[in-house]
Amino acid sequence: MKLPALLLLFAVMASAASAQIITRAVAYEHDGVKLEGWLAYDAQAAAAGKLPGVLVVHEWWGLNDFAKERAQAVAALGYVAFALDMYGAGVTTEEPKRAGELAGQFYGKPLMAERARAGLDALLATGLVDEARMASIGFCFGGAVSQALAYSGAPLAGIVSFHGSLLPASAEAAVRNRARFLICHGAADKFIAKENLDGFIRSLDDGGFDYQFISYAGGLHAFMNPGADAVREKHGLDIAYHPDAARRAWGHMRQFFDEIFGR
């Protein structure tokens, strides 16, 4: 493991230790598919009453260690985090072709929001969260999932998309949406064509969305993930971890949460 990844892991472990983070797997189901998410929360904070809930949506690799670590980092901030499972219990991959197949079954279909809503319902069912203060964050594929969930009218105060695929909002989605948006985008991301980016922003403007779009200089796709460099070396994907962009984006998320949750 490279030094930046180690430092990030140590920071999360230190926060989790001081906050008494509880983690556990949660089995649930959607449309006959058995799913298994990952719940994380601060036991001391939860003992004082219901907390804001944050859905964490994984990259196209599936619910792996990175998504679980992000859930624990969110929990260390004083929220109840639930890393949902879009693919099925134990279904993950490290192969881009397989990841594309797994993620591809959701794009352009109601199933994307429906499967995400099952994760949101599983989080609500824990009894730990304040239903009036809910958010979703997602990475790459998960950013698109968070957008689709908001477009469906799910009871979300906000969403955060980290280097996510960008789904333009339809007029109907704009009417249904209840969430404020924070879009954290890598300025050097080759996966998002300029015309798609422009169309996405235009759709948010046309729909009257309350959004922030922040572009991070030098940020490639997957800039939040310390494991991106190893994937780049193995598969030749144009992705990379960018510690400065990752730190800034996480800080912007924290500010956004303070705003939407009224803390």
What is the extent of the structural domain holding 176? 3-261
CA distance 95 to 77: 32
pTM tops 0.85: yes
What residues pair up with 89 in beta bridges, in sequence order? Answer: none
Question: What Cα–Cα distance (Å) separates residue 50 from each residue in 43, 95, 124, 134?
Answer: 11, 39, 11, 11
pLDDT by position in tens, the chain (length 263): 445 444 554 454 444 455 699 999 999 999 999 999 999 999 999 999 999 999 999 999 999 999 999 999 999 999 999 999 999 999 999 999 999 999 999 999 999 999 999 999 999 999 999 999 999 999 999 999 999 999 999 999 999 999 999 999 999 999 999 999 999 999 999 999 999 999 999 999 999 999 999 999 999 999 999 999 999 999 999 999 999 999 999 999 999 999 999 86
CATH at residue 74: 3.40.50.1820
CA distance 185 to 176: 24
Number of domains making up the chain = 1
